[in-house]
Amino acid sequence: MSEYQQFKYTTKILEHRLDTFGHVNNARYLELYEEARWDFIHNSGYGLAEILTKKQGPVVLDVNCRFKRELTNRETITILTQTLKGKGKISSLKQEIIKADGTVASEATFTFGFMDFTQRKLIDPPDSWLKAIGVISP
């Protein structure tokens, strides 16, 4: 995907994510992607506590999501996340949902900014954020 560190998040599709057709509803894919992003930034030292303390953090500006295969009840999936462009006020990352057999079920590209919530504007991210998203080696 890119030169930056790749993060993996594994989870199981449970009943509460299913729609009346017996597969994962399109809006739930975005929830799964967000779960994976929170998991890796938390584990990389820039979780919610850091965001609330510094009053600075990521904001999603745009998403392009493709649905390629359905996800069904009790499937184990892996979500791969990798930053594509990490420096500057606006960055991007790619995420893929991979089924147990290796099939790509969905792929999404997110454009996000790094925001100072006190000033209410985008700012250049600190090194601690760049480390958390795999742009700078830990």
In-domain check, residue 137: no
In-domain check, residue 1: no
- Name the helix (H) or strand (E) containing 41: helix 26-43
Q: What is the pLDDT of residue 87?
A: 86
In-domain check, residue 28: yes
- Residue 39's domain is classified under what CATH number? 3.10.129.10
Q: Beta-carbon neighbour count of residue 134 at 10 Å?
A: 22
Q: What is the pLDDT of residue 25?
A: 93
In-domain check, residue 38: yes
Q: What is the pLDDT of residue 60?
A: 98
Helix-then-strand count for the chain, H and E: 3, 6
Q: What is the pLDDT of residue 80?
A: 98
In-domain check, residue 117: yes
Q: What is the pLDDT of residue 1?
A: 58
In-domain check, residue 99: yes
**Residue 10 belongs to what domain range?**
6-132
Structural domain count, the chain:
1
pLDDT along the chain (138 residues), means of 10: 89 95 95 98 97 98 98 97 94 98 98 98 97 90
In-domain check, residue 138: no
Q: What is the spatial distance between Cα 114 and Cα 124, in angstroms, rounded to a whole number? A: 7
